[in-house]
Amino acid sequence: MKKLPCVSLCLLAAACLAAAECRKNTNAYVSPTERGEPFLLKNGLTNYVVTWRYTNPSPTQPGRVLVGMPAPVNTTGFSRKDFTSIVLNGIDSRVLEPKKFEMFNTEETSGVDIHYNFDGVPMIQRFAVSDASPLLSMTWRRGAGKPMRPIESLSIRFTVLPCASGRARDSYSREVVTPAGKYLPKGKARWRKRKLSARDTFLILQDAKYQSGQQSPNAGPVVLCPGWKSILSGMVMFGVHQDLYVNFELDPKAESWSFGLLDSEAKRSNADFAAFLKELKLVP
């Protein structure tokens, strides 16, 4: 804990040295079953890789485009395979193929805009980083042009594997910490469903059993900050299962829907991570 002011100073220095940047990641993964379209979003504080994974159609399944986050941490945190998607008017973004990717690098932020068409409703998903924050922002907004139909329903999901993955089945102890309280699993239940409200301005997603630390093989917790202005309701599902889901019903009348995400390769226990967030003033 004593080290935290130092950490903070170091981060600040790093942020000053390296401006935010977005570029195509050179390690585009190609296999017989899929190809990847990865983007690296980095600043002096962090490196995120967000990948659009085009899974090949097979004799039993259609192809899909999944958004994964293999970095900063590969096997934990926001799922490297498929961590977020939306469903608009019943159409899952994973069955769509992005129409185009547009990278941008401005003085303040860098990122990538991904254009989709949901049966006549144009939408843009933006991932961006700014110079001075370790947060990765993700925003959905309406695309240009008049939609052929209104948005009648819109929801978003996140899949997170905080701290550890691939361990014994149902051996986890997932927890959610928000300003409104700490949500613990119900005994050995695989899932606990907990409604979220605007008071849950950020969610620290962590594991009580597989905590990280200097010598630990585990990774630290992650943070999800929902932009409640355009959210109607939310729900988190967690328990002893490996996956932790956060779902939001979004306001279909809003113009955009924003979320902040934080993941780090630094090895921090749950307590250290909470302190780290405070130090950064990312949380009150």
DSSP class of 278: H
Which CB atom, from 59 or from 187, has the smaller least distance to other proteins?
Answer: 59
118 binds other proteins (CB under 8 A): yes
Applying CB under 8 A, among 47, 74, 117, 247 the residue interacting with other proteins is: 117
**In angstroms, rounded to a whole number, what is the distance separating the alpha carbons of residues 17 and 82?**
32
Scanning residues 6 to 65, which ones bind other proteins (CB under 8 A)?
32, 56-63
CB of 31 to other proteins, least distance (A): 11
| Least CB distance to other proteins at residue 151 (A) | 14
- List own/partner pairs for 253-256 with CB under 8 A and 24 or more apart: 253/151, 254/229, 254/230, 255/141, 255/142, 255/230, 256/139, 256/140, 256/141, 256/142, 256/230
Is 102 an interacting residue with respect to other proteins (CB under 8 A)?
Answer: no
Distance in Å, CB of 148 to other proteins, minimum: 5
**252 contributes a contact to other proteins by CB under 8 A:** no
Find the shortest distance in angstroms from Cβ 55 to other proteins. Answer: 11
Neighbouring residues of 101: CB distance < 8 A, sequence distance ≥ 6 = 37, 39, 52, 112, 113, 114, 115
At how many degrees (to 10) do helices 270-279 and 4-17 cross?
60
Farthest CA pair distance, the chain = 57
In the complex with other proteins, which residue's Cβ is closer, 103 or 143? Answer: 143
Task: Return the number of the residue (146 or 169) whose C-beta is nearest other proteins.
Answer: 146
**Would you tell me which residues interact with other proteins (CB under 8 A)?**
32, 56-63, 90-91, 95-96, 117-122, 148-149
